[in-house]
Amino acid sequence: MHRAACAAFERVGTYWHMLPEASQARKAIWDAVDPHVGRRRIDIAFPLEVREITRENEMFIRFRNGSTWQLVGSDNFDSLVGSPPVGLVSSEHALSNPAAWAYLRPILRENGGWFVGITTPRGRNHAYEMLNAHRDDPTWFTQVLPATETRVFDADALESERHAYRAEYGEDQGEALFQQEYMCSFDAAIMGAYYAAELAAARAHGRIGAYPWIEGVPVRIAGDLGRTDATALWFWQMIDGAPRFIDYHESNTKDVPFYVELLRSKPYRYAEPPLWLPHDAQAETLAAPRSVQAQFRAAGFRSRIVPSRDLQDGIQAARATLSRCTIDAERCAAGLEALGEYRRIWDDERRVFADRPLHNWASNGADGFRYAALAWRQDMKPEKPSAPVWQLQAGVRSPTFDEVRGIVARRRQA
């Protein structure tokens, strides 16, 4: 924040401080009081004397020279595009929506701006990939500082913290959390991750890698639909009795016509019907008199509704699918990251993980995969015959047993 304050007077422009969610930004930065001095952090970093305007509800400051600084969340980055920053600090970058950086990076590049990413490791996700990509890049500065190097804690204090974590969270989870929070370990398991073991096994057995689209094999799609949050679509083909996930797409605040054009732009030959939609796709509202399912149907994309199962059954179906499927690592990278980050809520009072997932940016991609896991199994079930074997017209006598036996014998001879 001090760096942003200096930069704002070195170059007039827009500066952002981004946290994973806008609500976190208010708690952690805007309203937070530094316990060492008893003052709000923003008042320490940005003295009142250098400000022209402070808008509390928008977490926005305009400085006297015309520069602005604002707290934002990676959960609403789509609404921020168009107000180009020249400086961006991403705090807890490993927990942020990776799509936010993908959108904002070209803006900073065009503006000749700068980026600072600060984070605690959360497994080998996009923050880990960013660190490795730029370790030897002379235009970037990278640094990993475990607690053994910062000298904030001595060896006795660190050992005490290790024991406390193990006592509170159990031996395995406690050690993983200590390694993550204090020793900057990217290999520590993400606390409460639903699919950590299945993803690790899939990578170890080579089922996550180069698995491109096979031309001529029908493609199916399932996903989680969102209007105010993200829509996440998984594309797969059935190969040797198991799904091959060949593509993934996620967008925010888009309507059905956008996704219709997206599907049409792909080179795939779609199954008939190609779409598996969640139950809320059937709903009609005042804002949308036609349901999502009806809108897709009008555009030429028929669909089916994903079988109704409770959340835990769906998660088990996703785990079973991850033990059999193959996934293209490049085209499904964002979806894989969502699966890796999908985790349960920790209940501080009971000291256990709750039976419900944390709702964050990863939820949409993970929910979309859960729907796909339920859908492909339904596709494999044989269709029920549309009519009984013996369908008789009204008034026609039913054949006797001897007559049926004679018909069968004649067919065998033929």
pLDDT score of 130:
92
Strand pairing of 208-209 and 303-305? unpaired
Closest CA to 377 of 238, 212, 170, 224: 238
Q: Say if residue 311's pLDDT is above 70.
A: yes
| Greater model confidence, 269 or 224 | 269
CATH 3.40.50.300 residue ranges for the chain: 2-118
Return the amino acid letter for 180. Q
pLDDT for position 344: 87
Q: DSSP for 145-209?
A: --HHHH-SS-HHHHHHHHHHHHHHH-HHHHHHHHHHHTT--SSSPPTTBSSHHHHHHHHHTT-EE
**What is the pLDDT, as a whole number, of residue 189?**
67
3-state secondary structure 194-240: CCHHHHHHHHHCCCEECCCCCCCCCEEEEEECCCCCEEEEEEEEEEC
Lowest mean pLDDT among 24-28, 307-311, 350-354: 350-354
Q: Are 161 and 182 in contact (CB under 8 A)?
A: yes
**pLDDT band at 361; cut points 50, 70, 90:** confident
Res 412: pLDDT: 60
- Write out the CATH class of domain 203-380: alpha beta
**Ranges 80-94, 260-274, 311-325: which has the least confidence:** 80-94
Confidence of residue 392 (pLDDT cuts 50, 70, 90): very low
**pLDDT for position 410:** 64
Opening angle at CA 321, ends 75 and 243, nearest 5: 95
pLDDT, tens digit (0-9, with 9 covering 90-100), for 69-122: 999 988 876 666 557 899 999 999 998 988 888 888 999 999 999 999 999 998
Task: Tell me: pLDDT of 365 over 90.
Answer: yes
Over residues 304-313, the mean pLDDT reads: 91
Q: What is the pLDDT of residue 61?
A: 96
Choose from 70-84, 194-208, 218-232 the range with maximum mean pLDDT: 194-208
Instruction: Write out pLDDT tens, residues 65-74.
Output: 999 999 998 8
Q: Please say if the pLDDT value at position 414 is more than 80.
A: no
Q: What average pLDDT does the segment 312-317 reach?
A: 94
Report pLDDT for 383. 45
Q: What is the pLDDT of residues 114-126, one digit of tens each?
A: 999 999 998 878 8
Out of 140-154, 257-271, 272-286, least confident range = 272-286
d(CA 306, CA 375): 6
Distance CA 180, CA 172 (A): 12
Residue with the bigger pLDDT between 41 and 125: it is 41
Pick the range with the lowest mean pLDDT from 1-15, 173-187, 312-326: 173-187
For residues 142 and 116, the answer to whether their CB atoms sit within 8 Å is no
Residues of the chain with CATH 3.30.420.280: 203-380
Q: What are phi and psi of 87, to 5 degrees?
A: -150, 135
Residue 213 has pLDDT above 70, yes or no: yes
Q: Would you identify the CATH topology of the domain 2-118? A: Rossmann fold (3.40.50)
Burial 325-352 (b: 16+ CB within 10 A, else e): bbbbeebbebbbbbbbbbbbebeeeeee
- Cβ burial of 238 (10 Å; 0-12, 13-18, 19+) is middle
Percent of the chain at pLDDT > 90 equals 56
Mean pLDDT rounded to a whole number for the chain: 86
